[in-house]
Amino acid sequence: MSHTLGIRQAQKQKTRQALLDSALGLLEHQSLSSLGLREVTRAVGVAPTAFYRHFRSTADLGVALVEEALGSLHPMIEDTVSTAGDSDERIARAVELIAHHVGAHPAHVRFIARERHGGVQPVRDAIREQLARFAEEVAHALAEHPESAGWSDDDLLMLAGLYVDHMLMAASAFLEALDGSEAERERVARTASRQMRLISIGRRHWLG
C-alpha cells in the first residue's frame, strides 16, 4: 500500500507531470535535442529555475518520458502474444490493439519513434533497453506456443525482435495516417496485418 502523499509532495508531482505533459506536446513539431528548458517552463506557466527541482536537464526529462511511454506497456504486449487462438486471430487482435493505442496516445508513440534514433544518447539508450525487454518478454511468450517446438532461444529472440520492430513500424505508420482518411488508415492496417502474417508463415516453416 502506498503512503498518502503530503500536500507538499503532491504539488511537486503535479508540476512535474505538467512539465512532462507540456514537453510531450512541444515535441510534436521538433526533436528532443532542440527542446529548450525555458520553452517547457513557459508552457507550464512556471519560472525557468523551477525546472531544476525536477530534472537535471531536458535529456533527463526525456528519459522520464521514455519510462512514461513504454513502462506501462509490458502487460499489454505479453497479453497479446499469449492470447489463445490461431495465428490470424492473434495478428488481427495485435494490429487492432496497436491502432487503438496510437489513437489514444499519439504523442507518446511519436516520441518513441522519433527519439529511438534521435540525437540524445541517454534517451536512445533508455528506449533500446525497454525495447530489448519487450523482445525478451515476447520471446518467452512465444516459447509457450506449440509452434515453437524445436526452436533455440536465440532464434526465438531473433523472431521476437522482428515482431517488436514491426510493431513499432506499424505504430509509426498509423501515426502518419492519423490525420488522413479512414480508407487510408484501413490500408495501413491491412498492410501491417499482411506483413505480420508473412512473418508468421516464415516462422511456421523455419525449421527443416
Partner DNA sequence: CCATGCAGTTAACAACTGTTCTCTGGAATT
Partner DNA sequence: AATTCCAGAGAACAGTTGTTAACTGCATGG
Binding-site ranges for DNA (CB under 7 A): 6-9, 11-12, 14-16, 36-39, 42, 46-50, 52-54, 57-58
Interaction partner, residue 30 (DNA, a second copy, none; CB < 5-8 Å by kind): a second copy
Query: 52 or 194, CB closer to DNA?
Result: 52
Smallest distance, a second copy to C-beta of residue 175, A: 9
| Burial (0-12, 13-18, 19+ Cβ within 10 Å), 135 | buried
Smallest distance, a second copy to C-beta of residue 155, A: 7
Instruction: Give residue for cell 534517451.
Output: 123
CA-CA distances (angstroms) from residue 65 to 24, 38, 69? Answer: 8, 18, 6
Q: How far apart, in whole angstroms, are the C-alpha atoms of residue 88 and residue 176?
A: 25
DSSP codes joined into one string, 63-96:
HHHHHHHHGGGHHHHHHHHH--S-HHHHHHHHHH
Do the beta carbons of residue 63 and residue 42 sit within 8 Å? Answer: no
Query: 58 or 172, CB closer to DNA?
Result: 58
Query: 56 or 204, CB closer to a second copy?
Result: 204
Interaction partner, residue 140 (a second copy, DNA, none; CB < 5-8 Å by kind): none
Query: 35 or 158, CB closer to DNA?
Result: 35
Binding site for a second copy (CB under 8 A): 27, 29-34, 110, 113-114, 116-119, 121, 155, 158-159, 161-162, 165-166, 169, 172, 191, 194-195, 198-206
Do the beta carbons of residue 144 and residue 62 sit within 8 Å? Answer: no
Smallest distance, a second copy to C-beta of residue 15, A: 25
